[in-house]
Structure 1
Amino acid sequence: MGRNRRSRTHSNPKKNQAPNQKTKRYGRDIDQIHDDMKDKGKQKFLEDLRKKDLEDIPGMAEHTCVACARYFADAAALETHVRGKPHKRQLKKLEEEPYSIEESRRAVGLGVDKGEYGRRKEKEAAEAAVAAASAAGTSAAPMEV
């Protein structure tokens, strides 16, 4: 007789959870942290901290790394973090200025200087529109009279 064949579905419950891992421990984006590093942004960061429940934050939010937007239980853990590679990588990322809205629009092509060819095409299109309006205006004028 033999035994029954096993199922070939190969379903792994951990595999299905993988896309959700990124949002599980979501911190702050680089541009938000960059604003926090500035003077007024740091005040905003501290105001947001006051709104949170301090009992839920490790170490009652006394030991924070603003560059990484993380909280630590004690000063020793914070010191270990500051000496580590992830903190140093984050500082390198923060050295670059984040993209502004104007830069993103220029990347898409909005508000970009199109050069001589683009200016010539726009000028020709404007002249064609004026010519069409004047032609429509002259042909419409005798009919109105």
Structure 2
Amino acid sequence: MPGPQRRSRTHKAQRDVHRAARTRAFPRQLDQIQHIDLLPENREKLEAQPLNVDLPGLGQHYCVECAKYLESDIALKSHWKGKYTNGDVRSFGIPLTPSKSRNGQLGSGAKGNARARYAI
């Protein structure tokens, strides 16, 4: 056959790269939780939500510090004992300040960046 031929084994396993690049619904960030959700009037609204069949536990078991819905009251109580929740609660004692290279608005930053955009 005249002309160049295609090389074999050109696949390079792209599945995980495509999955990692997909857009996700990221949870609320620590600055949004600290400045908005932990206010007493907002916290009461979040803890006493109406029934919603689309949410886990019908939306009745919500951890405000983690911005996470849980299935039951038992799951919520065991969630409060976990190290990730305790780490989030401890980090709320430290005021979050925007770094100089970032925009100062709450929740702003590069799209799709799941990491914290604020320096502690």
Q: TM-score, normalised to structure 1's length?
A: 0.53
- Distance verdict in 2 for CA 1:39–1:79, change over 3 Å: same
Larger Rg, first or second structure (1 or 2): 1
Q: Structure 2: which 5+ residue stretches go unaligned?
A: 1-6, 102-120
- Percent of counterpart pairs with the same letter? 26
Are 2:19 and 1:17 equivalent residues in the alignment?
Answer: yes
Q: Conserved in 2, the CA contact under 8 Å of 1:36 and 1:44? A: no
**Equivalences, count:** 94
Describe how 1:109-120 pairs up with structure 2 within 5 A.
none
3-state secondary structure, aligned to 1:56:
coil
Q: TM-score, normalised to structure 2's length?
A: 0.62
Query: Which residue of structure 2 lines up, in the alignment, with residue 89 of structure 1?
Result: 87
Q: Deviations over 1:59-113 (max 9, x none)?
A: 11211110001111111111221111111121122222222xxx66xx46xxxxx
Query: Which residue of structure 1 lines up, in the alignment, with residue 27 of structure 2?
Result: 27
Query: Which residue of structure 1 lines up, in the alignment, with residue 111 of structure 2?
Result: none
CA distance in 2, matches of 1:43, 1:74: 18
Q: Conserved in 2, the CA contact under 8 Å of 1:67 and 1:91? A: yes
Structure number with higher helix proportion: 1
**Higher relative contact order (CA closer than 8 Å, sequence separation 6+):** 2
Q: Any runs of at least 4 consecutive aligned residues in structure 1 with deviations exceeding 3 A, and if so which?
A: 43-47
One-letter code aligned to 2:26? Y
Q: Structure 1: which 5+ residue stretches go unaligned?
A: 109-145
* Cα-Cα RMSD: 2.7
